[in-house]
Amino acid sequence: MDLTPTYHTTPYAAISPSLRTLSQANRTVLITGGGSGIGLAISSAFVAAGAARLIILGRRQSVLDAAEASLARPGTEILLEQVDVGSVAGVAALWARLAERKVDVDVMVLNAAITSAVPDLVGEGGPEAVAAMYEFNVMAQLRMVQAFLRQGAKEGKVSFGVSGRVEAGLTVAGGG
C-alpha cells in the first residue's frame, strides 16, 4: 500500500501563503538557516505571506547574500545576520543588536539543526559525540527560545522547531 500517493514540492491551495488567513503582514520573522535548503523555502513562504521583516541567520555570508537576492520583494525588509546559532556569545550579540535596533520578533523558526545520524554511544566518539549533538539541537535552541521570550510577551508571538530532533529535545528539556 502506498501511504504517500502524492508528493508536493510547492505549497498547495489549502496552505498557500497567499491565503488572507495566513497573512504575516506587520510581522517580523526570524529564521535560523533561512538562507538555503528547507530554511530558504520557509523564508520564501513568509515573504509570499507578506511578512514585514525577515531576519535570516546563517554562518556563510555568501549563502545569506544569495538568499537575499532571490527573496527580494517590495514590502518585506530582509535583515541578514551572520551568526553561528551554536555560539553562546554570537547568539547573545545577535539579540543585543536586535534590542538596540528595537526589533521585536513575532515569529521564530528554529530550522538549523545537526541532522547527521544519531551518534553511536558505544562506538567511536561515544558520549562526547552525543553531547555535541545535544549541545546544538537542545541547548543552542533553548538559548534562542530564552532570548526570544525575554523580549517580552506579545499577542501572536510564536516559536517553531522544524527538526523532529530539536522538538524532541525541547520537549524533554522543557517538559512539554
Ligand X SMILES: NC(=O)c1ccc[n+]([C@@H]2O[C@H](COP(=O)([O-])OP(=O)(O)OC[C@H]3O[C@@H](n4cnc5c(N)ncnc54)[C@H](OP(=O)(O)O)[C@@H]3O)[C@@H](O)[C@H]2O)c1
Closest by CA to 169, choosing from 140, 147, 129, 128, is 140
Kindly write out the interface string for residues 116-155 of this chain, putting x where it contacts ligand X by CB under 6 A and - elsewhere: ----------------------------------------
Return the number of the residue (36 or 159) whose C-beta is nearest ligand X: 36
Closest distance to ligand X from the beta carbon of 55 (Å): 12
Is position 85 an interface residue for ligand X (rule: CB under 6 A)? yes
Return the number of the residue (84 or 104) whose C-beta is nearest ligand X: 84
Assigned C-alpha cell, 85: 546559532
Q: What are the C-alpha distances in Å from 172 to residues 88, 139, 152?
A: 21, 11, 24
What residues numbered 19-78 form the site for ligand X, per CB under 6 A?
A: 32-33, 35-39, 57-60, 63
Closest distance to ligand X from the beta carbon of 133 (Å): 12
Return the number of the residue (24 or 111) whose C-beta is nearest ligand X: 111
Closest distance to ligand X from the beta carbon of 153 (Å): 26
Gyration radius (Cα) of the chain, Å: 17
Alpha-carbon span 56 to 35, nearest angstrom: 6
Alpha carbon 96 to its chain centroid, in Å, reads 18
Closest by CA to 72, choosing from 44, 101, 33, 109, is 44
Assigned C-alpha cell, 126: 561515544
Closest distance to ligand X from the beta carbon of 111 (Å): 5
Closest distance to ligand X from the beta carbon of 45 (Å): 14
Start-end of H helices in the chain: 37-48, 61-71, 88-100, 126-134, 141-150, 164-174
Return the number of the residue (28 or 111) whose C-beta is nearest ligand X: 111
Return the number of the residue (25 or 173) whose C-beta is nearest ligand X: 173
Q: Which residues bind ligand X (CB under 6 A)?
A: 32-33, 35-39, 57-60, 63, 83-86, 111-113, 115, 162-163
